């Protein structure tokens, strides 16, 4: 395992300890509904702090782009992109589908990626050019060739300012075209599942770089493709992402291309 990946794994496992401890306090959270966001913020922040601390100890000159603390770039060309707790709504409800996502970008190119699922103790990882793994098992995208037989993952808009009606049209369109559509609520894990062949494809819009960065490297290292709804670049900036094995990716683009909001 690449030394930088090793440090990222250590950081993810430390964050998981904080998240697992907090998950035992969910009853406190259920009783005191008014404060539930404070509780989650506290958990997110503590998890993010331990990740940044672990990475900074090893690499004091690296920069960070993290969900809670934003950009701390340190004028570095090495930027760690971090989501300390992806799937917060699931976490609040004790629904065991959330993850820690950490990626390293060097001069704008993703080089290392870790997604850790503390509930299943599954560690997805990749180094550029070195393949993708879950624990020690090599990952390959599924070999499904027809969209009509494919299981596709997605995520719904969850903020007031997002266009739910537009999304429902896309949802209906894709539901008619594929074998099943799933939306468990943690994009990083959904992307890891594409790499693992558990999904044949995935799409979502309005995502942030920290939701996508680690998953995209893991998918490409597992032989998959990632792009926007037209199958083009620029998805990390636009937040509109589509992923799958090459055959399914092309067929998804035929369905989703017309819904793309990313300017050509």
Mean pLDDT by 10 residues, the chain (264 residues): 96 97 80 64 93 98 95 95 94 94 98 98 98 97 98 83 83 96 96 98 95 98 98 94 98 96 70
pLDDT value of residue 106: 98
3-state secondary structure of 120: coil
First to last CA, the chain: 38
pLDDT value of residue 46: 95
CA distances from 72 to 61, 69, 81, 146 (A): 11, 8, 10, 44
- Cross-strand bridge partners of residue 126: 113, 132
Judge whether 86 is annotated as a binding position: yes
pLDDT value of residue 156: 82
- Please state, in angstroms and rounded to a whole number, the distance separating the CA atoms of residues 264 and 254: 16
Judge whether 67 is annotated as a binding position: yes
- Please state, in angstroms and rounded to a whole number, the distance separating the CA atoms of residues 220 and 200: 14
Judge whether 207 is annotated as a binding position: no
CA dihedral 9, 101, 246, 254 (to 10 degrees): 180
- Please state, in angstroms and rounded to a whole number, the distance separating the CA atoms of residues 28 and 36: 9
Q: Which residues contact 115 (CB under 8 A, 6 or more apart)?
A: 99, 100, 101, 102, 123, 124, 125, 188, 189, 191, 192, 214, 215, 218
pLDDT value of residue 263: 63
34 φ, ψ (degrees, to nearest 5): -55, -35
pLDDT value of residue 226: 98
pLDDT value of residue 29: 64
Domains of the chain: 3-138 (3.30.540.10), 147-256 (3.40.190.80)
Judge whether 85 is annotated as a binding position: yes
pLDDT value of residue 84: 98
3-state secondary structure of 23: helix
pLDDT value of residue 1: 85
Question: CA nearest 70: which of 36, 44, 107?
Answer: 44
Cα–chain center distance at 175? 22
Q: Which residues contact 7 (CB under 8 A, 6 or more apart)?
A: 54, 55, 58, 59
């Amino acid at each position: 395992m690449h030394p930088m990946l090793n440090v990222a794994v250590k950081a993810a496992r430390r964050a998981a300890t904080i998240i697992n401890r907090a998950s035992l306090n969910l009853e406190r959270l259920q009783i005191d509904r008014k404060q539930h966001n404070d509780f989650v913020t506290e958990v997110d922040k503590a998890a993010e702090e331990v990740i940044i601390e672990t990475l900074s100890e090893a690499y004091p000159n690296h920069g960070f782009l993290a969900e809670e603390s934003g950009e701390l770039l340190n004028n570095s060309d090495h930027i760690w992109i971090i989501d300390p707790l992806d799937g917060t709504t699931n976490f609040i409800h004790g629904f065991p589908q959330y993850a820690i996502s950490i990626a390293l970008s060097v001069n704008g190119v993703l080089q290392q990626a870790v997604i850790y699922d503390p509930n299943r103790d599954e560690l997805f990882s990749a180094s550029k050019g070195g393949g993708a793994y879950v624990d020690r098992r090599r990952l390959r995208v599924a070999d499904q060739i027809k969209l009509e037989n494919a299981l596709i993952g997605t995520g719904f808009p969850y903020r007031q300012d997002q266009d739910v009606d537009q999304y429902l049209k896309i949802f209906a369109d894709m539901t008619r075209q594929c074998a099943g559509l799933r939306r468990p609520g943690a994009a990083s894990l959904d992307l890891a599942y594409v790499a693992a062949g558990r999904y044949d494809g995935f799409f979502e819009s309005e995502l942030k770089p920290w939701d996508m960065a680690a998953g995209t490297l893991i998918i490409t290292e597992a032989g998959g493709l990632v792009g926007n709804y037209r199958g083009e670049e620029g998805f990390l900036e636009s937040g509109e992402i589509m992923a799958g094995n090459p055959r399914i990716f092309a067929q998804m683009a035929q369905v989703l291309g017309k819904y793309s909001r990313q300017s050509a």
